[in-house]
Structure 1
Amino acid sequence: MSTWSYSKGLHDLGNSIYAYLQPDGTWGWSNAGLVTDGEASLLIDTLFDLKLTREMLDTMSRAVPAAANIDMLVNTHANGDHCYGNQLVAAAQIIASERTAREIPVDPPTVLAGLLQQAPQLGQFGTYFQRIFGRFDFNNITLTLPTKTFEGQLNMKVGDKALQLIEVGPAHTAGDTLVYIPDERVVFTGDILFIGGHPIIWAGPTANWLRACDRILAMDVETIVPGHGPITDKQGVVEVKGYLEYVYQEARKRYEAGMPAMEAARDIPMDRYASWTDGERIVVNVDSIYRELSGDQSHPNKPALFAQMAALALDRG
């Protein structure tokens, strides 16, 4: 596995490429990236709120002069912890897959702000919601949408550095994108990779996510920056792929036996992943696989799923 330290802040990957890490990588604590060449700069993702994004941008601009004015921003997917800070770089060209651009407005920060405000009256759900999201400030965020979209693959340059934006969704979300810098053997994966934590299948199908893992494994890459967790190498990809294969196989057995999804989520043995964080996400993963197996094309019922995750998380302490 990779030997990069897992500490908060900017990590120099070499040749003017940087990762910005936020331990411990659990709900909302996402990673971002910076690529520069001369005065040209590209930011990979913003963070979950304005304070965190501002802190990241200040850290970057102090360390890297080109980061004082971000030219381009890539949002790897639509989850708020990768795009809610976009307004702080609104002068940049904001690039995302077409599916991501359509999905960003679906979960506005006002909903999260409202739920946090109501949390004391929401019982078990409120306790859980406060626990996972209570350290973020969702007020005063103006959703700032992509100004340029693509489908499939977009080849681009930051100065003279060649980058490939590779759409691999729907998987974690509707339009997941990898940011690949082939000459430097670096890839930023967004939430196709959670290292040391349970991934979460909001969109699927699982097969697409497995193909995304295979695509990374086929790349000539040495340094892999996940959406959450420490910098990794291909062994980290193998572990995430193994998790997805295992959960899919176990969920399918229980689906075919007629076991309800929530019961299956509690029944699947997860001992081998006991050290991984956010184990309650098995609820969403089994629900997604069940809907996939039944041919249900509807969107996940997020309020119900968060309530079920709350019950499981609080049961397990």
Structure 2
Amino acid sequence: MSKAFASADDMEEKQISFTEVGEGLYAFTAQGDPNSGVIIGDDSVMVVEAQATPRLAQKVIDCIRGVTDKPITHLALTHYHAVRVLGASAYGAPQVIMSDKARAMVVERGAEDWASEFERFPRLFQGHEEIPGLTWPTTTFSDRMTVYLGNRKVEIMHLGRAHTAGDAVIWVPDAEVMFTGDIVEYHSACYCGDGHFADWGRTLNAVAGYQPKSIAPGRGDALVGDQMVGAAIENTRDFVQSTYRPAAQVAARGGSLKDAMEAVRDACDAKFGDYAIYEHCLPFNVARAYDEARGIDTPRIWTAERDKQMWEDLQG
């Protein structure tokens, strides 16, 4: 195992794709980096996920301006993680939407998460000096809310805990397209360090219940068509279960975190080892699975110091 975080040496520029997933709906993807979504209404635009910095956000804006000159009036953030939200200032002054729980997590751990992710992902935080501070929503919701972009209806909902406790999905009913954030991934490892393993499968069931024709996932290629959508949902389910079960078995017999890492590798390396950010996510996923299996319901806050201590413990 590397002596540095797996993403620390990943400084290679990623190729951007801007894929139409429905009429006036786009997925901005970049080879396993965090995705953004674009919803074009009659007279305005909603962006889903801000990106990590204003510099990265400008790449999303450039793609938008290639297809429409309508103003960006809404920014929907599926959760609180720094790589998703800290580029918000690039969009001007839109209505910024999060779930109530996601906002509470910014209060509780937003600064710590920023410092932690900055250490883990140096490439994504190039241009970090342009970030004015934590991103705060101007509007929050408990279970669901509706936004109209002219006549286009957009539903923003909390379907359950998964990647975080406050995950939101964005559903565009006229096109039957969903933007899932990191609840669903495609050929990218799920980051489970702040996740809820026991709930994730039920939340995936809720996503599948909408029978989306297309999904813009949190990472990986756009999912267009029933076959890709169904396969990605089940693959995400397999990843989460394959991570949790061996870690839980180790915890049940009183084994160590390092033992849990070995067990999860045995279960996951062959199936998922070539996925984007797999090596980066693995230690955080194992640590959270081990905690949840020992009854810790609320994920412990990651800090730069805790990251390093966990890494040293796993190095032995």
1:197-276 equivalences in 2 (<5 Å): 197-232=188-223, 233-268=229-264, 269=266, 270=268, 271-276=270-275
Q: Per-residue deviation at 1:228?
A: 0.8
The 2-side partners of 1:92 and 1:48 are apart by: 17
Counterpart contact for 1:36–1:159, Cα < 8 Å: no
Secondary structure of 1:259's partner?
A: coil
Of 14, 39, 45, the residue aligned with 2:22 is 14
Secondary structure of 1:58's partner?
A: helix
Could you tell me which residue of structure 2 aligns to residue 60 of structure 1? 64
**Deviation by residue 1:244-296 (Cα, 9 ceiling, x = unmatched):** 12222212211112111232112321212222233332322222222223222
Structure 1: stretches of 5+ with no match in the other structure: 1-5, 117-128
Q: Per-residue deviation at 1:169?
A: 4.4
Could you tell me which residue of structure 2 aligns to residue 83 of structure 1? 85
Q: CA RMSD in A?
A: 2.7
Secondary structure of 2:262's partner?
A: helix
1:180 aligned to 2:171? Answer: yes
> Normalising to structure 2: TM-score of the pair?
0.82
Q: Quick one: structure 1 residues 111 and 17, their matched pair in 2 at CA, closer, same or farther if it must change by over 3 Å?
A: closer
Determine what percentage of the aligned residue pairs are the same residue.
Answer: 21
Q: Which amino acid aligns with 1:288?
A: R
1:182-197 equivalences in 2 (<5 Å): 182-197=173-188
**Deviation by residue 1:161-205 (Cα, 9 ceiling, x = unmatched):** 222212134321231111111221211110112221221223332
Could you tell me which residue of structure 2 aligns to residue 136 of structure 1? 125
Could you tell me which residue of structure 1 aligns to residue 3 of structure 2? none
Counterpart contact for 1:76–1:176, Cα < 8 Å: yes
Q: Which amino acid aligns with 1:82?
A: R
The 2-side partners of 1:288 and 1:113 are apart by: 15
Q: Which amino acid aligns with 1:257?
A: R
Counterpart contact for 2:171–2:179, Cα < 8 Å: yes
The 1-side partners of 2:217 and 2:88 are apart by: 19
Could you tell me which residue of structure 1 aligns to residue 287 of structure 2? 287
Counterpart contact for 2:159–2:207, Cα < 8 Å: no
The number of residue pairs the alignment matches comes to 290
Q: Which amino acid aligns with 2:277?
A: D
Q: Quick one: structure 1 residues 172 and 305, their matched pair in 2 at CA, closer, same or farther if it must change by over 3 Å?
A: farther
Could you tell me which residue of structure 1 aligns to residue 34 of structure 2? 30
Q: Quick one: structure 1 residues 145 and 90, their matched pair in 2 at CA, closer, same or farther if it must change by over 3 Å?
A: farther
**Deviation by residue 1:13-46 (Cα, 9 ceiling, x = unmatched):** 23211111122x1xxx211111112212211111
Could you tell me which residue of structure 1 aligns to residue 4 of structure 2? none
Could you tell me which residue of structure 2 aligns to residue 108 of structure 1? 111
Q: Which amino acid aligns with 2:28?
A: Y
> Normalising to structure 1: TM-score of the pair?
0.82
Structure 2: stretches of 5+ with no match in the other structure: 1-13, 224-228
The 2-side partners of 1:59 and 1:104 are apart by: 28
Counterpart contact for 1:48–1:80, Cα < 8 Å: yes
Q: Greater shift after overlay, 226-235 or 301-310?
A: 301-310
Q: Quick one: structure 1 residues 304 and 234, their matched pair in 2 at CA, closer, same or farther if it must change by over 3 Å?
A: farther
The 2-side partners of 1:40 and 1:13 are apart by: 18
1:44 aligned to 2:40? Answer: no
Could you tell me which residue of structure 2 aligns to residue 126 of structure 1? none
The 2-side partners of 1:276 and 1:313 are apart by: 21
